[in-house]
A = this chain, B = another copy of it.
Amino acid sequence: MPDAVCQSALVTDLYELTMAAAYFDNNFQATASFELFVRSLPRQRSFLLTAGLDQALDYLENVRFEASDIEYLRSLPVFAHVSDAFFDYLRNFRFTGEVWAMPEGTAAFAEEPLLRVTAPIIQAQIIETYLLSVITFQTMIASKAARIVGVADGRSVVEFGTRRAHGPEAGILAARAAYVGGCVGTSNVAAGTRFGIPVFGTLAHSFVMAYDDEEEAFRKFERIFPEHAVLLVDTYDTLAAIDKIIDMGLRPKSVRLDSGDLLELSKQVRRKLDQGGLRDTRIFVSSDLDEYRIEELLKRGAPIDAFGVGTALATSYDAPALGGVYKLVDVHTGEGPSSRAKFSHEKLTYPGRKQVFRFHSENGKYDHDVIGCEDEKHPDAEPLLERVMTAGKRVGPGPTLSTVQQRARQQLARLPEHVRPLIGAQPYPVTFSPTLKKLLESVRERIGSATQRSR
């Protein structure tokens, strides 16, 4: 079984390690809390669907520096004045902290902490880069998948994007996240075996082209895959290929269209199949699809049964990054106030360890969220962050991926209607609690007296 994700401790930004050295050699002992959140949603998104926590926790349980890693670090001029003791520390480095997080498959919004780490500050710092990368990527893809599956309105959507993903591992992780977001499966076989996701796919144009004629290619393929063949019909001429299938007496499970005017072709193909007695043969469509094209095709009555979506899904093409950040919100050194905030220009962060409280409407839909301090009480609300790791170990086995997919489906069904449209969605209401705002003001005053008036 292939390892899904590279887990070396060196998969981090150098500054995490220079800060670690500076904390260590200055004997700065502190327990720090960092929160991971998305500052603002891309214009084309109105909600997020969380994913990637399982890979994050795997990493936290396993992250290590190998001897060769430490040798490499020692060779870097930047570490010339760093003590031997620091490298000994790295040799024994383990993550021993606590993690709170939204379970995978949670509907979430900008500014809401998706995950919080509390650990000795050096540990909490070193893991930043990896956590951001693994959680924001899968969250981005799950969110994109939810949009696509949403407009497909009950029809199957299969993730097909590995070839256009950002490298082989990104393909595997995209397949996982797409499944969380509601896809029925993936073409990626590694994701199939690693995560138990159903895998799909039968033949490409090259198979049809390899034989002297299309009939022969279809016949040879059907012989080996009598129940599963999805015959690709657009290598030369789509409608002629359908005629051949009927004339040959084949009864494929599906035919796949991968080019041309999909609306017109799907109608003509459906008509031909029905007239030829192939009413059970389904029409599977691919070809640079995304949620907008699928919505348009279905609105205009295209008789399509299932969609394969590649590039747009596996790269989140219209919004290929989320502004994920990981911010220090609290530092306990044993003396002085602990809450931390950042006030630079547009990049303000709220201090203190937080909880996200979700309030429900009477109709069972989600009504609004309040981001508050972790110890606030809102008996009518559902707190979204749960403790998932203590002392560097998971608190229990995580849910299966199909449980996560189910949770996601339930969460999406409870989003208010106005949050779901592809275009012109209304923002879901998220506010900061009065207690949190008061904390922000007190930190601002403390920092202000130390910093801003000194100018």
Contacts and interface: CB of A to CB of B under 8 A. Distances in A.
Given A13-B189, A22-B221, A450-B212, A164 B345 contact: no
Nearest to A189: B10
B454 A240 contact: yes
A341 B210 CA distance: 10
Contacts of A438: none
A444 to B, nearest CB: 10
A165 B137 contact: yes
A89 interface: no
Interface in A153-169: 160, 162-169
A14 B454 contact: no
B8 A209 contact: no
A210 B344 contact: no
B162 A210 contact: no
Given A13-B160, A188-B11, A168 B130 contact: yes
B344 A234 contact: yes
Given A11-B171, A452-B236, A455-B240, A19 B133 contact: no
Contacts of A299: none
A170 B221 CA distance: 36
Given A187-B13, A344-B260, A452-B236, A206 B168 contact: no
Given A11-B190, A203-B19, A328 B209 contact: yes
Interface string A439-454: 0000000010011101
Contacts of A78: 202, 225, 228
Interface stretch (A68-76, A364-372, A377-385, A421-429): A68-76
A173 interface: yes
A136 interface: yes
Contacts of A180: none
Contacts of A224: 18, 21-22, 25-26, 81-82
Interface string A340-382: 1111111100000000000000000000000000000000000
A386 interface: no
Contact of A236 (B6, B10, B343): B343
A50 interface: no
Contact of A223 (B26, B199, B212): B26
A312 to B, nearest CB: 8
Nearest to A320: B320
A442 B336 CA distance: 83
A372 B451 CA distance: 67
Contacts of A136: 163-164
Contacts of A81: 224-226
Contacts of A204: 15-16, 19, 125, 128
A317 to B, nearest CB: 6
Contacts of A6: 2-4, 6, 168-169, 172, 190
Given A168-B6, A200-B14, A347-B259, A125 B206 contact: yes
Interface in A103-152: 121, 125, 128-130, 132-134, 136-138
B165 A133 contact: yes
Interface stretch (A27-35, A274-282, A401-409): A27-35
A246 B226 CA distance: 78
A181 interface: no
18 contacts: A1-B69, A2-B69, A11-B171, A15-B201, A18-B203, A22-B223, A26-B223, A28-B210, A28-B211, A30-B210, A80-B227, A133-B162, A133-B164, A137-B166, A167-B173, A205-B342, A238-B344, A239-B455
